Structure 1
Amino acid sequence: MMSTNEKKVAIVTGASRGIGRAAAERLARDGFAVIINYASSDAAAREAVNAITATGGDVKAFKADIANETQVEALFDFTEQEFGGVDVTVNCAGIMITKPVVDFTVEEFDRMHAINVRGTFLVSREAARRMRAGGAIINISTAAERQAMPAYGPYAMSKDAVEGLNLILARELKGRDITVNTVGPGPVATELFLNGKDEALVERIASFNPFNRIGQPPEIAEVISFLAGSARWINGQTIYVNGGMN
């Protein structure tokens, strides 16, 4: 086990639940010191911190709205103060509103894009400014736009914007030894995906997959771990992780 001073440091946004929490837990097992960023639930953040601490992980939590520029700067300030720097940034924070385009309100559209697009931009920008050589920026997209699923239009738009940043930022960081990649999960058993769906609908969605099921958060975290670690020759790419759904 590395000492605190030798450990690489990872910020994971949206890490109090779902894919973010699974990513934080996996990176802690990989030997990273982890900052759990969350926006609302203090209780969920404490639970995530306690789970990692119980397995010997080095972890702190920091509450910040990633759509707020000042709070994003404070998140990175806190990380540098606690652990000395930042090596990996995993941007898992996001919201998903699903309904037909004709039923979408401008307020819903703006709220979703504030987190999914503006938030990803702000976190990626701050990471690009501060991260140490040998690092990795990992954003989260979706396979929904490739599946062209009805009711996912504005959500897919927000994640297409994330993918649009990917290769450009990777090239802008030339000479810094920092990779930029995106992970695009298919349906995953998280609160974000399951909310508002009954069992029959989930089973129908699962039936489209060759494995006849939806994904689990640790399966996405495994790919995040790979990109945060030895995968230095993968850069500017989007990796879809959906069990062969598309």
Structure 2
Amino acid sequence: MKHPWTRGPFKRIMMTQNATTLRRGAAVSRLVALLFLLSSARVPAAADTDPRVVLVTIDGFPAAMLADEKTPIPRLRKLATAGVMAEGMRVCNPTMTWPNHTTLVTGLRADRHSVLFNGILTRGEADAPVSVDPRRDKSELVAAPTLYDLLHDAGMRTAGINWPCTRNSKSLDDDFPDSPEPLLHSTPRLRQELRASDARMNAAFIVAGRGIKSGAKIGLVDNIDVAPTIARLLGKALPNAQGRILNEILVSE
């Protein structure tokens, strides 16, 4: 499926992340930020009148893993060889996903852009603990201009895929926000295309070890089948599971 931001002669910025929670206490980044300047191979960069920039983050990925030769990341290593790789990237406090992603698009630390949690800290009743509410719009979360605000105001095309603190942003032409019920809060055009698409994403499923058939291939399975199958391997039953036991992968007794 071609998304709207992939078509037409527009200047574009796109932001996307692989969302995994950051751990506290990192001296250097537990987030890999990949920045691409995409331009036509037929036109010199200096003469490019249609620049495209894509900012991709791999959340929860420490710099040490990127440097570790045992980490199986051939595509990232190829990108690093073709471009520039830093020794590491220091993060701002608090070392959480939403504050640091907001820093990436504002150039400000959290005390300046106001995103201190993965949502907004809220108080309940007098004796109740505080909680974090992620169901908030960008206007309620971010207290500073963002890069995509600047570019949108300059007439450029902007898009976000699973980027924090963008819900109902007026500066993103197409947006699938990192928030609860993301499809409900996606921009109308993108939501319409997603609903009209018959494309589906299937996750990988590989099982190996004692009690498992060797070299076998099976058709599609459901994620609800995993728990009852593991229980069966351990000689137990999971009576309330909605999935089935994948007997076709098990060695017959």
TM-score by length of structure 1 reads 0.31
Q: Choose 1 or 2 for highest CA Rg.
A: 2
TM-score by length of structure 2 reads 0.31
